[in-house]
Amino acid sequence: MQQNYHFMCYPHKVPSVCVPPWTSQDASARERLVVRLLRHPGSNNVLVGDVVAFHSPLALPDDVTHVMVRRVAAVEGDEMVSSSGAEPPFLIPPGHCWVLADNSQLRPEAGEVIDSRSYGHIPFSAVIGRVVYAASSRATHGPVRNNPAHSEVGGEDAAVVAAEVDVERILREEEQMDEFGGIEEGEELEKEGGVGNDDGSGSDGEAGKGKGSEAGGNGEVKGDGIGK
């Protein structure tokens, strides 16, 4: 049965301190992300290890332009344990997930990054879609590494990327947008942490199978999710 897939492509300026090695080190460079829309996000299609775009929990209620990108580190039913013992363990509640920036060198307590360590778990309903492809330039681009069920050869996103992603068209359309003044600042994706791609480059998310450390070393995730 033929399926129809829809994408949103956002040009996004990434500070050089936040990007992984495979992207441009130019602080003014833009990373273009291809997001596969998820019409009904939930535990069946938002998995540990997925990079997702979602409505920021810090935005005003009616603000749908403030979008963040993070990697899913834990999902409903997983136990969160503080490595310092400062906080009691807790379970991710039904219908929610825990998201972290890939760049584990950034510290939320220092104001360097904002993720679930700052605002807590987010509802699946806030998820817009899964990031399936990223491009820094015509020479630097590739599939984004998600949960193997989605991104590996034979995964459901692999066929979508092969059939739908046209890097030349994405970059050409952005160039045309720039000619007319570019996008509004409020429409840009916020992504302090880098996103790794399928060739193994980029910084890794810290989600693991069973028990694994949270990025930044502020806690542990106990669950059955599949990480990097």
The neighbour count for residue 76, using CB atoms within 10 Å, is 18
Architecture per CATH, 7-222: Ribbon (2.10)
Residue-by-residue pLDDT tens, the chain, 228 positions: 333 334 444 444 444 344 454 345 555 556 788 888 898 999 999 999 999 999 999 888 777 778 888 999 999 999 999 877 788 999 999 999 999 988 777 888 888 888 999 999 999 999 999 988 888 888 888 888 999 988 877 778 888 888 888 888 888 877 777 665 544 433 444 544 555 555 544 433 333 333 333 433 344 444 443 333
What predicted TM-score, i.e. pTM, was given to this entire model? 0.73
Rg (CA), the chain: 17
- Domain spans, the chain: 7-222
- Between CA 222 and CA 200 the distance in angstroms is 25
Measured distance CA(170)–CA(136) in Å, rounded:
11
